[in-house]
Chains A and B, each alone.
Chain A
Amino acid sequence: MRSDFTEAAGLGKGPVPLEPYRSADYFELERERVFRRVWLKMGRVEDLPERGDYIVKEVEICGASILIARGADNVIRAFHNVCSHRGNQVVWEEKGSRKTMFRCPYHNWTYGSDGRLLAIFDEDKFFGVDKSKCGLEAVQCDVWDGWIFINLNPDNTVGLKDYLGDMGEFLSDIPYPNPDRHVTIQTYLKCNWKLVVDAFSESYHIPILHAKTIGPNFSSPSDPAGHLQNAEFFGPHHSISLFGNPDYQPQEVQLVEQLAYKHMQSENVLAANQSGDTEDLRAHRSVNPAKSNTWSMDINEFFPNFHLDVAGGGFWTHEIWPIRPDYTRYEMHFFVPRPETIREAFHQEHYLARLADVVLEDVANVERTQKGIAARAKHHMILQDNEVLVRRFAHLVDEFTQAANLEEALERCA
């Protein structure tokens, strides 16, 4: 097994500055040079399965509301959710299905699902509006492996495929189980967005902070710190594999846990599915890429704010959306099968209840960390080798904030 991950990533080993976690000036650079330049993940194609289906997503740091619609021609497009008339939002709900047109609820200006302006209410009283020039403002949109991404820079010249680069190749064609059904855990956190990214980028904390909830699954007497099993670095993106305790069993007093898992042949407590339903997932070349036999899950991080975590029994995602320097929206999506029996529903309730508590442990933790950093008592953090992604992410954001454009940022991170 590889150790020296930090060296393999080409990074130094010194302390890492804390200022980017508390600086309003740095946050402005992140707004302009990260979020307004990069490809951002919005959803999955299964979120809008039929022609005329749509979703609306917020990108708070850019003040953007993005409408993503599947047109009558089956093409998925993205638009600014802004009416050409007086700037109101055209779509007020978070999602909908089978709409042939979007009608602004303010004055009934009506757009096609391809963004064209179709009709203006009381058009005669306007002063010669050229409807062909008043469609919804298109946003660059592309799909990789079922994941929908947008780019908010209208002049962007780097395609999604080039942005994802080797990371896209590495993870392509994963047979995702239950991509069409997810449970969301959403919360708002009083902390900088990068603290949330960091919280889900290392396993060093798991046996300690999550000692009761999932610690026993991610460490063992033979590896009490649950060391990384692998790490891969691809431009601004990266992937790590975490240790899993192959000997984990519920304790005797955990009667309900035993009952919940009685009918499950599952990989571990992070499994939403029966093992038999995820054999092809585990066989994928880049799921547990080191093919470690003490493996629990992979964390695949797409710069800057989308994590795609894959375990032997299923997958889930993290999205981390900055709002202000010390305020963040955080969403996890757990992709779970549709339960058909009470026993399946009971297992799923137990599975998600535990994960919600894990999130709660992290939530309280990042807010405390923000307070600590804001005190300005300390100016650096000290990182070890298994925290390599925390170090690398700080480095990547720094490179982006210094680059003149996305091309240069990608070169700097190569």
Chain B
Amino acid sequence: MRNMVTVPAGERCLPEGFEELEEFVPYWAVAGQDARRYQRSDTTMAEIERFYHAVYPRADAAMDHLEKFPLRDMPGPETRLKRLILSLAQASMSIEIHGEARVANSPWPNEMKIITPEEL
């Protein structure tokens, strides 16, 4: 596994009310679209389903909460929640479009890179 998120000692993992999503933080709350895409591509459909079905029901509420903060300057727990939510967009490709973890018959690992002007 390339990426792993650690929560600084003494800090909340996620904002109050979103504790049930904390188990997904180490794998899914990674910084940057390329890393989130890697995570979704490098796991199993079962794991993607577990993540999707846990996070989707809370996504609207999470975004309502996150809208109170500047997108690029959130406290640690909100930053992790933001990245979890952005990972939901990645996971939805597998669940809502492909019906499998990755694009059918495509190579993995592959050389594709997504280069973004900033790492949200």
Contact = CB atoms under 8 A, between A and B. Distances in A.
A254 interface: yes
B63 to A, nearest CB: 5
A80 B37 CA distance: 36
Query: From DSSP, what is the main secondary structure of chain B's interface residues?
Result: helix
B96 A346 contact: no
Interface string A339-350: 111111110011
A349 B90 contact: yes
B22 to A, nearest CB: 19
A360 B107 CA distance: 8
A384 interface: no
Given A183-B117, A186-B112, A349-B36, A341 B71 contact: yes
A237 B36 CA distance: 38
Contacts of B59: 256, 259
B71 A356 contact: no
B26 to A, nearest CB: 20
> Which size bracket describes the interface of A in this complex?
35 or more
A180 to B, nearest CB: 9
A363 B67 contact: no
Interface string A175-200: 00000011111111000000000000
Nearest to B60: A259
Q: Which of B52, B85, B99 has the most CB of A within 10 A?
A: B85
Given A187-B110, A357-B97, A360-B106, A345 B37 contact: no
Contact of A349 (B89, B111, B115): B89
A341 B71 CA distance: 6
Contact of A212 (B97, B110, B117): B97
B63 A343 contact: yes
A353 interface: yes
Given A187-B110, A361-B106, A364-B106, 14 more contacts: A183-B116, A213-B103, A251-B96, A256-B52, A256-B92, A260-B89, A260-B92, A346-B63, A352-B33, A354-B97, A360-B102, A361-B103, A364-B103, A367-B107
